[in-house]
Amino acid sequence: MNVLIVYWHPEPASFNAAMLRTAQKTLLAQGHDVQTSDLGAQSFNPVSGRHNFTLAANAEYFKQQHEEQHAVEQHCFSDDVAAELEKLAWCDLLLFQFPLCWFAMPAMVKGWIDRIFVYQQTYCQEARYECGRFTDKQALLAVTTGDPKCMYEPDGAHGDMLGVLKPIHRGVLAMTGFQVLPPFIAYEPAELSEQERIVLLDQYQSRLENITRDTPLSIPPFKN
């Protein structure tokens, strides 16, 4: 299986970085091929705009979807966008690794989505959900939090974690056709002891060792 890990955390010694290393080592040991988009190390620009393209469809008025469709047809994406699109097409499993920020992706990861999930190549009006471009691919979120698990229970202050992640699971991944796997959540690792963090990494390793046996989340079909 080809695995693309899209990763961001500003600190190389963070628990997120430890999870990244665990994922890379475990997946390679299982015989999978792995590529990593380390957005910080790549100095990836998360801001979308005309710089996404080397040729303009309309130099007077910028509409991103129109420019993306033109770039798909004319093969005129910028080098950084083209490289990430190639990785995305290559992968069978798209794994996002990041710290939850304000109940969402960090801006750097959201910017990757904004620039790389391009109109016509990754989605269009007719190609969504079970008719999406990526129905042959799976996606997994590996996320850390700053608050304990009890706050993400159905009766917790933040509400159910699957509800928190719904805009990503459905609005980004399922909408483009991905089979969405249950997320791996590392709750407040900063408050854990070293031994507890080791146990958490072991649990993540075990999950990835059995990733091909995972059952995707149930997503209602798209009704036009």
Q: Pick the catalytic residue from 152, 169, 187, 204.
A: 152
Q: For residue 220, what are the contacts with CB-CB under 8 A and spacing of at least 6?
A: none
Question: Does the active-site annotation cover 152?
Answer: yes
Rounded to whole angstroms, the Cα distance separating 135 from 138 reads 8
Rounded to whole angstroms, the Cα distance separating 139 from 11 reads 24
Question: Does the active-site annotation cover 146?
Answer: yes
Question: Does the active-site annotation cover 66?
Answer: no
DSSP string, the chain: -EEEEEE--S-TTSHHHHHHHHHHHHHHHTT-EEEEEETTTTT-----SGGGBSS-S-SSS--HHHHHHHHHHHT-B-HHHHHHHHHHHH-SEEEEEEE-BTTB--HHHHHHHHHHS-BTTTB-SSS-GGGSTTTT-EEEEEEE-SS-GGGGSTTSSS--HHHHTHHHIIIIIGGGTPEEPPPEEE--GGGS-HHHHHHHHHHHHHHHHTGGGPPPPP-PPP--
Q: Pick the catalytic residue from 49, 51, 146, 163.
A: 146
Q: Pick the catalytic residue from 32, 66, 70, 158.
A: 158
Q: Could you list the active site residues?
A: 146, 152, 158
